[in-house]
């Protein structure tokens, strides 16, 4: 189930062997982690071709409750694993394309930071000169 990235098969196997898999705390923890990874990869695979998709459609495709899918999508957005927003009024997920970093913006921020350092050091020097003259 894991090699096929199939969440449905994974859930079937864990349900079939519940006693063997859920009794050991370590195995239970790793299975929970695997479940989260499978869920994330399946959600990304489902929403990949869309720029805007209804959350109910995603929930139907992945065969999970709407609130669970919505919660996981919002968690993925907050964690930075998904670039987009949830429009809960319309019940949609709006996916943004990964844009290249704006180098001009980064360089501009570096210039501002350097100017701040220069102004701060000049302020300290002028304050030192005023105290020695007084």
pLDDT, tens only, 63-100: 888 999 999 999 999 988 888 899 888 999 999 887 66
* Structure-token match 């998709």, residue found: 53
* Per-residue pLDDT band at 119 (split at 50, 70, 90): very high
Cβ burial, residue 98 (10 Å; 0-12/13-18/19+): exposed
Tell me, what's the pLDDT at 100? Answer: 62
Task: Give strand ranges (E) for the chain.
Answer: 52-54, 84-87, 92-95
pLDDT tens figures, 95-118: 988 766 678 888 889 999 999 999
Q: What mean pLDDT comes out for the span 58-62?
A: 89
Residue 95's beta-bridge partner residues?
84
């Amino acid at each position: 189930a894991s090699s096929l990235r199939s969440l449905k098969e994974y859930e079937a196997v864990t349900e079939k062997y519940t006693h063997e898999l859920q009794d050991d705390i370590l195995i239970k923890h790793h299975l929970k982690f695997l479940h989260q990874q499978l869920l994330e990869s399946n959600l990304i695979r489902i929403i990949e071709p869309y720029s805007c998709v209804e959350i109910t459609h995603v929930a139907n495709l992945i065969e999970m409750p709407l609130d669970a899918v919505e919660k996981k999508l919002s968690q993925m957005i907050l964690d930075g694993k998904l670039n987009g927003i949830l429009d809960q009024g319309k019940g949609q997920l709006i996916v943004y394309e990964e844009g290249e970093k704006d180098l001009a913006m980064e360089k501009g921020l570096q210039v501002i930071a350097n100017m701040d350092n220069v102004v701060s050091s000049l302020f300290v020097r002028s304050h030192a000169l005023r105290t020695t003259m007084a």
